[in-house]
Structure 1
């Protein structure tokens, strides 16, 4: 068998290809030929444009697409960089250089250019993970996240006390790697996740798993994400100090009392991740949300010592809902969820229409 660098390779451009498709091939050509054998990939979810993070050099090719975003091919000294920017995902930079040192230096330059921009505190980078036939992949996006102080009034006294302690906490110590949030829909669980990600961003990356069934059902997918083995992972981060918060929403079926019959090994892997052998030595927290009441959850999930925090989200009481609405007008006749309160504030013409705030049953509106 001939050496790998002697293997034949061809790059074809077809009539169906557009300029957007051609640039990656041009960037790959010197790597395949061996002219520039060292490659690096840098992910920059907060980048505002391709040119904002592109290295200094000559822009050989440029494509701007209303649908996809921007792609640049930049020759910087003896290296070549392809910069791709998508408005909802930030930028990814592929670098090919003559040697590892040159590739690392250019990658550091690109990261420095990205960090030189003005940081928006409300924009929090989140990695969205999903399974593909070629293994797990992620898309990094910056999402708008409110500060905890902005959303505090959205939660009743009991929920507020639990969330405030969690949001203000530093790196966890001791046992408990599971954060369990449960409660009926519309009580503000997703909003609280965004605020938590913003509060913890200095010491914790946020990962969102799009397909929880595959994540817990496929051991290789779970381990690739937990061990940072998947393509595109930034391996310059100090794993000894950097924590990761893995967020999985609406895992009702996985957490029910009959989960072992319905979900097979998925529940076992979940439990093993939080305080078993899989999770040992990993700076990983798992945040799960469910609409199920705690009485319907599997007892192994809520046993003492497993949870770093268990928060039961509930509607605001009549008095809290009345205060949230500004104290004017008639008092609601029953507790109201956050979703109902926002719908009430927007009025009958709002996206959700009118909300019935009368007491449950046939009682009059109070």
Structure 2
């Protein structure tokens, strides 16, 4: 299958001032190659640039017109080399009339989107124009069914280099490791389990002052109004009510002590810690305006694919659909409460045989069933029947 790819590629030396995005093109490109398929790109289009501009702005409109015209021109000149158009586009990046023209040229259009359950109350109207939406969150499927938008439930597109797919580490790192950016729910959960005596090491953006994320410049009063309108469109008035409630209600956080926080790892350290920790921890709860902090929304994250793929002994937070991905007794383990997290982690720390079993079984399952080549083959079958 020959793929025209739009997966947040950019054309700048330093990343745009938006949340981390460059890893997506690395994963999908290598996954396509491993699947023995091929991809091409529109040379002059900076797809990630479309995330920089505000909804409804002239700058965004100019980016849309410039980028989509270049895409259409490129397709017309290279139609014989394209079987499908595969994208990762946010609603504001999409120009429906351009997608319509691509489809009229006989090229099916597939869009991946990984935050539907967190960001949307209803499926964006612009998603209807695609032949297929790649939806990784099990919890988001009712949204797509209700909207009657054609979709396919496939795992997050994760890829790791073959030489990093070790089965068991030569030397385990003692204790429990969590690597991920700081937020209020993660801090509270980790603070509680550490308070109960669990030996957790915490790393990632925001935990130390020097690893804080980019600073965003406040917008104009008009832009704030536009943002408020868009917020209500996405989250509904119930989301606006929960947002107000969370601003008024104090959520008491159990802090993570400084002695448990370590510097943000570089790539090699990240891989080594994930693979070699006696237990690698996943947290699937997210701050959102769909739920209060006391009853948070949970859904499966990229880490639920990445950690087992790297051969980790993985314990992650339960969420709907996790049993569709793994045998949660023999491939990974899951927890639902703070006490269950402590109990299951303690059991794993004291049982090397079980740790090794999870490493081997979890990695075999994810590489066989949840890797990008498997997902691309399923998309091909959904579109073309073979």
Q: TM-score, normalised by structure 2?
A: 0.27
Structure showing the higher strand proportion among its residues: 1
**Which is higher, the Rg of structure 1 or of structure 2?**
1
Q: Which has the higher contact order (CA 8 A, sep 6+)?
A: 2
TM-score after normalising by structure 1: 0.28
